[in-house]
Amino acid sequence: MEKSLKSYLNFFGLFIFGLSLSQVNCEALQDENCKKSCEISNKAEKFQWNEYAQSLFDEAIKLCPNNDYAYREKAVPFLKSGDFITWKKLIDKAVEINPNQNLGYRAWCRFQFLRDYQGAIIDLEKLKEYRPTDLGSSQNGDYHLEIVKAICYSAIHQKEKAIELFENQLSNKNHSTGFYDYYQLGVAYFELKNYDKALENFEKQSKIYDFAENIFYKAKVSKIRNKDYLDLKNLALKTYDEGKLMKDVYTHHFNKVYKKQMQDL
């Protein structure tokens, strides 16, 4: 077992990782070895943070080398411990075996944990070959993966491309709006100095879920336009202190704003 993983497990004790996908229906498998492998990996997934679970995943893979679920779940603790090299080897194997099931997950992890925006875009483009009508949602449910792709383009300074993707997805009648969709679009417009469109989307965001960062950007627009912005700035700080802000259990959101930035406005 890698030293980094051991250190992480010792620190977090019985912490259960939350990135696992739903367990596999083993009864649907015809091959007896793969069915047994599936049962073992389902068992190991429940407590994947310890060395015994890792040995179970190894046993499952040995029984059925095409058990992509075992590879993916075995990889999760390495992702959380920061051992991205080991994680990448394991998740790449899962993707190789079953790209339809694993490309979106790898893309999200590349985006969320590694800030590998180009890699995430490549994965999502490949996923489109398997899911042409709907890529599905991010692992934590915050975003549709089309929105993730748009954010990735925004992150690599292709704002116009990002806005096109945002607008296309948000106009899709089947799209379920996420917590931060209009905010992310608004920031992309803001960075292109299109303050009218930026404010329009910040206002749309406020109607769905208002939070400190969104209010802060409305204050920035007001300041740029030489309008009174202090009330909005103070409201952003108050909202921040109340805990209504961009949150993630493991990492920091793209376009996250911190209290010091709000105070300095």
**CA-to-CA distance for 60 and 94, rounded, in angstroms?**
13
Domain residue spans in the chain? 1-10+23-97, 179-264
d(CA 166, CA 150): 6
| Confidence at residue 22, expressed as pLDDT on a 0 to 100 scale | 59
State the Cα–Cα distance between residues 89 and 256, nearest whole angstrom: 30
Q: What is the pLDDT of residue 44?
A: 79
Helices (H), the chain: 3-12, 32-45, 51-63, 68-81, 84-97, 99-109, 117-130, 145-155, 159-170, 181-191, 195-208, 212-224, 230-241, 259-264
DSSP 246: -
Task: In whole angstroms, give the CA distance from residue 106 to residue 135.
Answer: 13
Per-residue pLDDT in tens (0 to 9) along the chain, 265 residues: 333 333 333 323 323 333 445 566 777 776 788 878 888 888 877 776 678 888 888 998 998 999 999 999 999 999 988 999 999 999 999 999 999 999 999 999 999 999 999 999 999 999 999 999 999 999 888 999 999 999 999 999 999 999 999 999 999 999 999 999 999 999 999 999 999 999 999 999 999 999 999 999 999 999 999 999 999 999 999 999 999 999 988 889 999 999 999 999 9
pLDDT value of position 50: 79
- Determine contact, residues 149/120, Cβ cutoff 8 Å: yes
Q: Which two structure tokens, joined as six digits, stand for 195?
A: 């303050």
- Residue 12: its pLDDT value, please? 32
**How many other CB atoms are there within 10 angstroms of residue 157's CB atom?**
9
Collapsed DSSP state (helix, strand, coil) of residue 23: coil
CA distance 184 to 212: 13
Would you identify the CATH topology of the domain 1-10+23-97?
1.25.40
pTM for the full predicted model = 0.86
- CA distance from start to end of the chain: 48
* 8 Å CB contact between 137 and 156: no
> What pLDDT is attached to residue 2?
36
CB neighbourhood size of 26 (10 A) = 16
In whole angstroms, give the CA distance from residue 56 to residue 40: 6
Cα 98 to chain centroid, rounded: 20
Q: Which of 192, 199, 123, 120 is nearest to 159 (CA)?
A: 192
Report the C-alpha gap between 2 and 7 in whole angstroms: 9
| Residue-level pLDDT at 39 | 82
Residue 156, Cβ neighbours under 10 Å: how many? 12
27 DSSP 8-state letter: G
Are 40 and 8 contacting, i.e. CB atoms less than 8 angstroms apart?
no
pLDDT at position 23, please?
Answer: 67
Determine the Cα–Cα distance for residues 68 and 8; give it in Å rounded to an integer: 24
